[in-house]
Every structure is written in structure tokens, then in C-alpha cells.
Amino acid sequence: MTLPTAALHDAAERFGTPLYVYDAAELDAALARVRSAFGPARVYYAMKANPNLTLLRRLNAAGVGFECVSPGEIARAEEVGASGPQILVNGPAKSAAEYATGARLGATFIVDREEEVALLPPASRALVRVNPALEVSTHDHLATGAAGSKFGVTLQQAPRVLEALRAAGHTALGLHVHIGSAIRDAHDFTAAFGRLTELREQTGPLAVLDAGGGWGLDADLHGIAREARAAASAFGAELWVEPGRYLVARAGTLLTRVVGTKRTGRNFCLVDAGMTELLRPMLYGAEHPVTPLWDGDEVGIWDIAGPACESGDLLARDISMPQPTRGALVAIGEAGAYGAAMSSNYLTRSRPAEALYEPGTGDGQDWTLIRRRETPQDVWAAEI
């Protein structure tokens, strides 16, 4: 966690909890790390990681494009002023609306199956997503390049799909590969890029190689970048990348307050956030760093549990920390990616506010509210 403790207390007082907070300096630093590793590669932010408009505007101003996988994400890209080569339209089952809006904006499409060649708007710019059929070092639900995964065309199909695109009057820019998310071992990328470069003889030179995202926060970024650049140069191609999590995860913290404690077979620290605010622990068994913002001598082992009537509603297990006191704050780290983005209104819970920490801005305050907390009326607003 990169934010000062006093600032976290201040944010919780001002905006209430649960609350997502983001450190602007860490957002900028993450982008700088990507640029330093990947050099001139074009960066497309996979906005599924965190689609908040303020964050998108900031990335857009820094020259970053967007990878979009739904009509709503394309609308967000347009809303922040992105167009043409700044937008990638991706997804395994794109709707007619996505083709139409993508075409209107001059976006590049990522073709996920052969059938799509006939569905693309006339004279589209397109990449072909290849499934390299690899097992990778991440949770099964996060792996997207395994032989049994629903994404991309096979290595055998890829040259034919490029040809079909050209024959149909589209611009076949090149190949795309994304093997999954939160991948720990850089060798997985080496293997994936290696499988793609085996296609070089059949495809000939290409304009673009899109190496996707999926980099674990502790993965060897420079190693991944070196392999991606080598693969691109094997095709004589420009390198594009699509990080989501890497750009925003560390900048974000979920702030939650202790509601109480309970001892059954285990010690539970009950807090006011849970699976509706951070689904990753329940969905992927993800482990997020937990920082209790209080002191004490009586240290125990605690599970951090949310308020939902679901046994799986746990944010963390086996956390060593001082005896919790009611009203104290817990900071759940690395929550900037797939935290707010995957939050839900299950149980008619209002989604939390989001705030950006950038000292010296935001009407003289260090914090700027970038999404207000929902009300129950917001949650049922579309119901009739």
C-alpha cells in the first residue's frame, strides 16, 4: 500500500466506508514502469480492470489507448475522447452494436473466431487473436490461452483467418495473444510468444503484434518485455500491449471499517466491505495484502469477513494482527484492479464511493471524489 495512513483516515472520515482510494502517483509510476520496460510499444489499457472515467481521462491524456470488451466500455472510451487508433474492440461474442459503434469510431477489431470475418463492418482494421494452447501459472478461471479455453483461433487456423480478412477487403494488421491474468511466471509469456513466432513462415511479415496483458504484479516485467519485443521483431511488427491489472492494482486500496468481532471455530473480524466490494478472494482465491490501521499488543490470527449472508464472503484468512476494535480501519491493498470494476449491487448494497489522492490538487484538498457512493434509489432506478 502506497498511501500515508493519515491520508487514509482523512478519506474515511470525509467519504465514509467502504471506500476505494487510489494513489495518483502510483498510477503514474506504474505507467512509467510499463513504458520503461516496453519502450516504444503502443499501450492499450484493458479498462475492464477499472473503468472509472477519471482514471481513463488521466490515461488518455498520457497517450494510452483502450481495450474494450462491451458496448459500455466502448461508450466509456468515446466519453473520454478516445477514437480511431486509440480503441481496440475485443471479445469472444461481440454484439451488432459493438461492430457498429466500433466502425463509427474507427476502432480496430480483435477477431476471435473465423466466422467474425463476415460479421465485421466493411474495410475494418483487424487483428487475429491466437490461442497458443498453453497451461499457465494462474488460477484456472484466469487462464485464457489454454487448449480448452473459449478464446481465439487455433495456431493452425490463424494464417487462414488473416488471409480471409484480406480477401474480404479488411486490413489484417496482425496477431494478438493474451494468455490470462495475474500470471506469475514470465516463462509462460516466452512460451506463448514462441508459439506465435512459429507462424512467421506462413504469415509473412505483419504490421502489428499485440502481446496482450496479464502480467502478475511481481512478474519479471523486463523479461516479458524482452520476449514480446523479440516476437514483434520476428514479424517485422510494431508491438502493442494491453495491461489492465498492472496499471491500476497497486494504486488502489479498499478501505473498510471494523463492525465487530466474533469467535466461533475461528476468529472473525467483521468489516463493512465484502464480496460485493472485492470479489477476487471469493472468485479466484486471490490474496490481497491486509493492513490494520490500529496498534495493540494482543496479536491474534483473524479472518476478515464481510456483511453478506454468504459463507464465502471473506476478504482474507489467517491475518496476524492486533485485537480489532469497533470502528477501526482495515486497508485491503492491490484493490485498484477488478475491485470497483467487479463490485455488485447484490443484496441491494450501494456501491462505494471512489476517491483519488493527489496532494495539492482537488480544491486545495489532497483527495478528489471521483465517484459518489450510490444510494438505494440509484440501485433500483431502472426498475419499473
Ligand X SMILES: Cc1ncc(COP(=O)(O)O)c(C=O)c1O
Active site (catalytic) residues: 309
Cα separation of 155 and 134, whole Å?
A: 11
Closest-by-Cβ residue to ligand X is 244
Q: Helix (H, G, I), strand (E, B), or coil: what is residue 285? A: coil
Q: Under a CB-based contact definition with an 8 Å cutoff, are residues 362 and 54 in contact?
A: no
CA distances from 164 to 111, 120, 125, 160, 288 (A): 11, 12, 13, 6, 45
Task: Determine whether the annotation assigns residue 260 to a binding site.
Answer: no
Longest dimension (CA), the chain: 72
All residues at 6 or more sequence positions from 311 whose CB lies less than 8 Å from its CB, including other chains: none
In the complex, the smallest distance separating the C-beta of residue 178 from ligand X, rounded to whole angstroms, is 4
Nearer CB in complex with ligand X: 109/246: 246
Nearer CB in complex with ligand X: 87/258: 87
In the complex, the smallest distance separating the C-beta of residue 247 from ligand X, rounded to whole angstroms, is 8
In the complex, the smallest distance separating the C-beta of residue 270 from ligand X, rounded to whole angstroms, is 30
Nearer CB in complex with ligand X: 50/101: 50
Where b means 16+ CB within 10 Å and e means fewer, 259-285 reads: bebeeeeebbbbbbbbbbbbbbbbebe
Site residues, ligand X (CB under 6 A): 46, 48-49, 67, 90, 144, 178, 181-182, 212-215, 242-246, 337
Q: At what angle do helices 24-38 and 221-234 cross, to 10 degrees?
A: 40
In the complex, the smallest distance separating the C-beta of residue 110 from ligand X, rounded to whole angstroms, is 7
Nearer CB in complex with ligand X: 102/213: 213
Cα separation of 269 and 257, whole Å?
A: 10
Cα separation of 248 and 215, whole Å?
A: 12
Task: Determine whether the annotation assigns residue 338 to a binding site.
Answer: yes
Q: Which helix (H) or strand (E) holds 363?
A: none
Task: Determine whether the annotation assigns residue 113 to a binding site.
Answer: no
Q: Which grid cell is 2?
A: 502506497
Cell 476478504 found at: 315
Nearer CB in complex with ligand X: 223/362: 223
Cα separation of 56 and 63, whole Å?
A: 11
Nearer CB in complex with ligand X: 11/196: 196
CA distances from 79 to 56, 73, 84, 115, 338 (A): 10, 10, 13, 30, 21
In the complex, the smallest distance separating the C-beta of residue 370 from ligand X, rounded to whole angstroms, is 20
Nearer CB in complex with ligand X: 126/182: 182
Task: Determine whether the annotation assigns residue 300 to a binding site.
Answer: no
Task: Determine whether the annotation assigns residue 214 to a binding site.
Answer: yes
Task: Determine whether the annotation assigns residue 243 to a binding site.
Answer: yes
In the complex, the smallest distance separating the C-beta of residue 335 from ligand X, rounded to whole angstroms, is 13
Q: Where are the beta strands (DSSP E) in 193-273?
A: 208-210, 238-241, 252-263, 267-271
Residue 261's φ and ψ, nearest 5 degrees, are: -130, 165
Task: Determine whether the annotation assigns residue 44 to a binding site.
Answer: no
In the complex, the smallest distance separating the C-beta of residue 41 from ligand X, rounded to whole angstroms, is 14
In 3D, which of 271, 302, 339 has the Cα closest to residue 22?
A: 339
> Which positions make up the binding site for pyridoxal 5'-phosphate?
214, 242-245, 338
> Which positions make up the binding site?
214, 242-245, 280, 284, 310, 338
> Which positions make up the binding site for substrate?
245, 280, 284, 310, 338
